[in-house]
Amino acid sequence: MPAVDSLIAFPEKRAAEIAGVSLSKLVYWDLTQVVRPAVKRRLSLRTNVRLYDFDDAVALLVVAELRQRGLSLQHVRKVVKHLTDRGYERPLTDLVFATHGKDVYFQHPDGSWEGGATPDQLVFHQVLNLELIRARVRAGAGRQPSEVGKIERRRKTMGHKPVFAGTRIPVDTVLRWLDHGRTEEEIIGAFPDLTMTDIEAARANAASA
């Protein structure tokens, strides 16, 4: 996994949005051990916090795609268990999957296929493209359009100081750069997640303070 991917993590609500499934379905997949989050903490009798890393999010998308192709969740779960028992730590992200009707097949690292069909029986477009799925996860890690130009405070984030929505960049940092004569282009070059709209929001926030 590229180093930058290892830094990506999603709270459960965002992970569900990326996978295109409901939050209740995401929780069910965890409880039935189809896709379990990298981090799970029980805060109270009614509250669990789930955090999905990059590979978890890829696995969610693989399961969602297999379900869309008509495979039952029970079938997917059996395949995951079978591969886990064979020693694969993360089978949904380590192997190539393909479907033929309502059957699923998987390709081992040595190139061999398992699942009841030989490679020439598989239609190419039915093979899941993991690189496209990974690209969707990376895209989901970026800021949302609705977050641009917004400033917020989040608990346990940068000491509860104002930050730009969707980032951990303190507004004070940008204001200090501006005070030292840095240009908007220099700031955006140093903080690629920011836009001119964010810088204007920082100025407006300082003026109203």
Tens digits of residue pLDDT in 127-149: 888 888 888 888 777 777 788 89
The pLDDT value given to residue 119: 44
- Enumerate domains of the chain plus CATH numbers: 3-140 (1.10.1660.10), 145-208 (1.10.10.10)
Tens of pLDDT, residue by residue over 15-24, are: 999 999 999 9
* Helix 73-85 vs helix 54-68: crossing angle, to nearest 10: 130
Answer whether 95's CB lies under 8 Å from 108's CB: yes
How far from each other are the two terminal CA atoms of the chain, in whole angstroms? 43
pTM (predicted TM-score): 0.65
- What's the CA gap between 189 and 184, in Å, rounded? 8
Compute how many other C-beta atoms are within 10 angstroms of the C-beta atom of residue 92: 27
